[in-house]
A and B are shown apart, each in its own frame.
Chain A
Amino acid sequence: MMGSHNRQSFEEAHLYASPEEMESLVLDDHPLSTAAAIVSVAAEDDPLMSPPLRNPNSSDNSYLDPPSYADVVFSPFDGDADAESNGFGSPRSPKSEGLAGNFGNLGVSSRFGESSSDFLRIRVSDPQKEQEQSNSLVPGGGTYVTYLITTRTNLGEFGGAEFNVRRRFRDVVTLGDRLAEAYRGFFVPPRPDKNVVESQVMQKQEFVEQRRVALEKYLCRLAAHPVIRKSEELKAFLKVQGKMPLPASTDVASRMLDGAVKLPKQLFGDSASVVVAPHEVVQPAKGGRDLLRIFKELKQSVANDWGGSRPPVVEEDKEFLEKKERLHDLEQQLSNASQQAESLVKAQQDIGETMGELGLAFIKLTKFETEEAIYNSQRTRAADMKRVATAAVKASRFYRELNAQTVKHLDTLHEYLGLMLAVHGAFSDRSSALLTVQTLLSDLSSLHSRAEKLEVASSKIFGGDKSRIRKLEELKETIKVTEDAKMCAIREYERIKMYNLSSGCDSGGSLQENNKSELERLERERHDDFLNMLKGFVTNQVGYAEKIANVWTKVAEETSEYAQESS
């Protein structure tokens, strides 16, 4: 908006500006483009140590050169520069100034410092409308949008260097669901929202563009996660041509239906289906088909909350509870900071716009006075006005550039706020795993007491009671299966605990390179990312403030005679 407005103003300005002023007015609009192309970030380098890239713009003695610095540190894959020299630019859309995948890419390059040549870069582009193959039940429907997903990597696990597939949003939802199931306890990045909008809106360019950006961000975040990036699910999503090989999630309704079918059997007879099979135990009850299990665990959680008795296994890990509390605080602070960052950005934008409009108004005035001048005093005034107008327009552009960079830096706050969702997910995975364990333990204890009673009863009868003995045997069978399930559940819970929180001990099957837990990873990454954010934000502010100061200092000098006259 400001951009096109400004474009006009520069054209106008050219009409009245002298050639040498035109030179300075037609400031290089994209000093970034040349600078960005030259950038390559070595992960170990301290960004502030690298020398400022030369910028045709800065004849001034800037302490720092913000556009190039900001780019060096924060947008290594940025820019309209050609993708070759960059490796892989993240696409720049006119709307999104916080560039898609920026955060994710940052993670990729700067975090895997040890093997800085490891990369997994994902890009989402080229939305296309496609027709539904099967006859759709929805009249008039039947079209959807697919996106081109381009992956470049040198990770061995992928078995290839570059992949291109077409996926639709529904596939992403599936991917998200499968990952959530497979990686309980991990901080799985939340997938972009399903927007419930009309099909008309779905096809609008703006919506499609927003979605493209969101998808790219999401995939890059997945790529940045040390464990998930190597998952089968992600690989399948990125590599397999044609239809996605992952099982699509069925809707909850049909799952409930299935469960409802099973329920009578569970309640009235077939004791086999009463028991929770071990393999099912490792999934949360909610959302599953096992209604009975859902009810039982619900009953257990109620008992936990209201019952006087303590559940057999309690979340005793004080360290975990403390960390949970701290993360809750962090989330609130992040939300607050994120909000204030938004309004700061808006205020910066506004002041830049108004400054520009002021400059324009003075340019018009200058033109007017020059044309209508009869007296020399008018010509002098026109000249003064032009200086101020030019300065105001320059300053306005600096504000705009400053703001574009600020948005990128402060975006880190928004990113981490989003990540808090992933943390919630992991923590609730842990709670539900614990609940499952507790429920099974309750089950077992009531099974045991039933068995005891039967034994006592049958021992009182000579020769035994055939039906009772049979029941006892069945019960013992049930107990055994439930014991197995219990062991599974406990293992699952412990596993989640390990990934959540604790560090060090390798209880076999550790999937992480450095053997650190998700929480530690979060702390570490957050520290680095926030530090970079602060450095970037501050450097940026310094650089642009210097530029703006230079512009106005010159005008103040040029008009200093007026100050002396009135004193």
Chain B
Amino acid sequence: MAMIATRSLSGSSQSPRSPSAQPSLSVSVTDPVKLGNGVQAYISYRVITKTNLPEYQGSEKIVIRRYSDFVWLRDRLFEKYKGIFIPPLPEKSAVEKFRFSAEFIEMRRQGLDVFVNRIALHPELQKSDDLRIFLQADEETMERARSQDIGIFKKKPADLMQIFKDVQSKVSDVVLGKEKPVEESNPAYEKLKHYIFELENHLGEAQKHAFRLVKRHRELGQSLADFGKAVKLLSASEQKTLGKAFSDLGTKAEMLSAKLQKEAHNLLMNFEEPLKDYVRAVQSIKATMVERANAFRQQCELAETIKLKEINLDKLMLMRSEKVGEAEIEYKELKVEGEEATRRFETIVHRMNEEIIHFQEQKTLDLGLAFHEFAKGQAQLANEVADAWRSLLPKLEACSSTHT
């Protein structure tokens, strides 16, 4: 698949295929199998982990996971590693009947594979306990963990869903600080925010057209097949050589129809899907921006509260009130909270700064590969088309233009 992250475990940009003495962790998501019946049917995947890290039990482990397990992992990472752009998940299917189509399942499998690998290759995320649980725990434990957290994260997924469904105004209000008067006065960050929001629009449009292009290939394939059939029928009414020419043409058309269907699939997997992935990544960044805004707001609110408490404390101290002790304790506690809030916020800022650089680099590589596949596929298709039709020309020339 066209989107392998290139960061190694050590955090530098070395190729991940370093000699085996190096710490390594590689994962693959394979083997989709339909389980259950009727409405409750779902797809399960086999997740294979190969590693030499001491924290993991043994060098190879295989577990069975379903989509909601991956969602759990993402949610936990999102909660714990604020500031990091958590790799995006492939969407839940909107259309019921599409849910079990071979193409959809394969696309999802690839998407999940890339998701886990990106986590495994991220210098911070790979150390997460949740990742270890995800990769190692037996199914029971996994299920327990999953259902537990549904309670805790009841609100969170809704928030995330909102974000992922791109309720633009709400998010942008929070992020761009329209709702509350508190916002960072950081011009670089402002620029980044606007960039991300606009980028999503542009990418979305490109992705939409890429998807349509896939459809157009299929449609052209279909009409070529129908045309070929019709032309072959016509050959029955014509003289020998001309009739043969008609039927050859029909056959070529049918053959090219198959090539078109193949290219449509190629386009979908290696061009449209990377574009969609890009869009999802941008949406993940937006979610991180929400977190940053929240953290900033918290920090500011606490700072306000602390100031008020300080004033109050001074007042109390002046009045030599007996409540001074209590107030002092409260004040100290608040100050600690305030420091924590500041630390949280700064962590997010720091992480984001690093993440954005890597994000840009990675996307250039990802998109470059997608473009290459796109161009290669189109060139190949066009050459096949040219060759197929060209082979007919000598036969056509052989048909004389006078009545035979």
Cβ contacts under 8 Å, A538 to chain B? 249, 389, 392-393, 396
The chain A residue sitting closest to B392, CB to CB, is A538
In the bound complex, CA of A555 to CA of B239 (Å): 45
Tell which of B202, B209, B229, B403 touches A523, judged by Cβ atoms closer than 8 Å.
Answer: B403
Near A by CB (< 8 A), chain B positions 225-250 give 226-227, 229-231, 233-234, 236-239, 242, 245-246, 249
A563 at the interface (CB under 8 A from B): yes
In the bound complex, CA of A537 to CA of B390 (Å): 11
Evaluate contact between B368 and A559: CB separation under 8 angstroms: yes
Write the B193-219 contact mask toward A (1 if CB under 8 angstroms, else 0).
001001100110110111011001101
A316 at the interface (CB under 8 A from B): no
Cβ contacts under 8 Å, B402 to chain A? 528
Evaluate contact between A330 and B237: CB separation under 8 angstroms: yes
Tell which of A46, A336, A355, A361 touches B202, judged by Cβ atoms closer than 8 Å.
Answer: A361
In the bound complex, CA of A545 to CA of B236 (Å): 29
With A375-B361, A377-B360: A546-B386 Cβ-Cβ less than 8 Å: yes
Near A by CB (< 8 A), chain B positions 357-380 give 357, 360-361, 363-365, 367-369, 371-376, 378-379
In the bound complex, CA of A199 to CA of B233 (Å): 43
Cβ contacts under 8 Å, B365 to chain A? 562, 565-566
A556 at the interface (CB under 8 A from B): yes
Evaluate contact between B237 and A329: CB separation under 8 angstroms: yes
Q: Smallest Cβ distance from B393 to chain A, in angstroms?
A: 6
With A530-B242, A531-B399: A347-B223 Cβ-Cβ less than 8 Å: yes
Cβ contacts under 8 Å, A546 to chain B? 382, 386
Write the B334-377 contact mask toward A (1 if CB under 8 angstroms, else 0).
00000000000000000000000100110111011101111110
Evaluate contact between B217 and A337: CB separation under 8 angstroms: no
Chain B interface, DSSP helix/strand/loop, else mixed:
helix
Evaluate contact between A388 and B361: CB separation under 8 angstroms: no
Evaluate contact between B367 and A381: CB separation under 8 angstroms: yes
The chain B residue sitting closest to A356, CB to CB, is B209
Tell which of B195, B216, B357, B382 touches A372, judged by Cβ atoms closer than 8 Å.
Answer: B195
Evaluate contact between A364 and B230: CB separation under 8 angstroms: no
Evaluate contact between B234 and A391: CB separation under 8 angstroms: no
Cβ contacts under 8 Å, B403 to chain A? 523-524, 527-528
A297 at the interface (CB under 8 A from B): no
Evaluate contact between B379 and A333: CB separation under 8 angstroms: no
In the bound complex, CA of A358 to CA of B216 (Å): 12
Cβ contacts under 8 Å, B392 to chain A? 534, 538
Evaluate contact between B209 and A357: CB separation under 8 angstroms: yes
Q: Smallest Cβ distance from B111 to chain A, in angstroms?
A: 17
A472 at the interface (CB under 8 A from B): no
A548 at the interface (CB under 8 A from B): yes
B302 at the interface (CB under 8 A from A): no
A326 at the interface (CB under 8 A from B): yes
Evaluate contact between A559 and B375: CB separation under 8 angstroms: yes
The number of inter-chain residue pairs (CB within 8 angstroms) is 206
The chain B residue sitting closest to A531, CB to CB, is B399
Cβ contacts under 8 Å, B249 to chain A? 534, 537-538
The chain B residue sitting closest to A528, CB to CB, is B401
With A340-B230, A364-B202, A542-B390: A531-B371 Cβ-Cβ less than 8 Å: no
Evaluate contact between A354 and B213: CB separation under 8 angstroms: yes
A346 at the interface (CB under 8 A from B): yes
Q: How many residues of B contact A (CB 8 A)?
A: 70
In the bound complex, CA of A188 to CA of B229 (Å): 31
Cβ contacts under 8 Å, A426 to chain B? none
Cβ contacts under 8 Å, A545 to chain B? 382-383, 385-386, 389
Q: Smallest Cβ distance from B368 to chain A, in angstroms?
A: 4
Cβ contacts under 8 Å, A364 to chain B? 202, 205
Q: Smallest Cβ distance from A142 to chain B, in angstroms?
A: 47
**Range of interface residues on chain A?**
35 or more
A350 at the interface (CB under 8 A from B): yes
In the bound complex, CA of A347 to CA of B199 (Å): 31
Evaluate contact between A563 and B372: CB separation under 8 angstroms: yes
A351 at the interface (CB under 8 A from B): yes
Cβ contacts under 8 Å, A552 to chain B? 375-376, 378-379, 382
Near B by CB (< 8 A), chain A positions 343-371 give 343-344, 346-348, 350-351, 354-355, 357-358, 361-362, 364-365, 368
Evaluate contact between A343 and B393: CB separation under 8 angstroms: no
Q: Smallest Cβ distance from B205 to chain A, in angstroms?
A: 5
B397 at the interface (CB under 8 A from A): yes
In the bound complex, CA of A61 to CA of B230 (Å): 33
| Best-buried of B205, B227, B369, B392 by chain A (most CB within 10 Å) | B227
Write the A318-346 contact mask toward B (1 if CB under 8 angstroms, else 0).
00000000100110011011011101101
Cβ contacts under 8 Å, B230 to chain A? 333, 336-337, 339-341
With A351-B213, A358-B206, A534-B249: A542-B393 Cβ-Cβ less than 8 Å: yes
In the bound complex, CA of A431 to CA of B269 (Å): 62
Cβ contacts under 8 Å, B357 to chain A? 375
Cβ contacts under 8 Å, A340 to chain B? 223, 226-227, 229-231
Tell which of B227, B236, B360 touches A329, judged by Cβ atoms closer than 8 Å.
Answer: B236
Evaluate contact between B364 and A380: CB separation under 8 angstroms: yes
Evaluate contact between A531 and B242: CB separation under 8 angstroms: yes
Tell which of B213, B217, B375 touches A388, judged by Cβ atoms closer than 8 Å.
Answer: B375
Cβ contacts under 8 Å, B71 to chain A? none
Evaluate contact between A542 and B386: CB separation under 8 angstroms: yes
The chain B residue sitting closest to A562, CB to CB, is B368
- Interchain Cβ contacts under 8 Å between A and B, 27 examples: A337-B227, A337-B234, A340-B226, A341-B227, A343-B226, A344-B220, A347-B216, A350-B220, A351-B219, A354-B209, A361-B208, A368-B202, A377-B363, A378-B360, A381-B367, A384-B364, A384-B367, A384-B371, A527-B404, A534-B392, A535-B393, A538-B393, A549-B383, A553-B375, A556-B376, A559-B371, A563-B372
Apart from A329-B237, A549-B382, what 18 extra A-B contacts exist at CB < 8 Å? A63-B386, A339-B230, A340-B226, A346-B223, A347-B219, A357-B209, A364-B205, A375-B361, A380-B368, A385-B367, A388-B374, A523-B403, A528-B403, A530-B242, A542-B386, A552-B375, A562-B365, A562-B372
Q: Which 5 A-B pairs have the closest CB atoms?
A: A549-B382, A562-B368, A545-B386, A552-B379, A555-B375
Residues of A participating in the B interface, judged by any CB pair closer than 8 Å = 46, 48, 63, 326, 329-330, 333-334, 336-337, 339-341, 343-344, 346-348, 350-351, 354-355, 357-358, 361-362, 364-365, 368, 372, 375, 377-378, 380-381, 384-385, 387-388, 391, 395, 523-524, 527-528, 530-532, 534-535, 537-539, 541-542, 545-546, 548-549, 552-553, 555-556, 559-563, 565-566
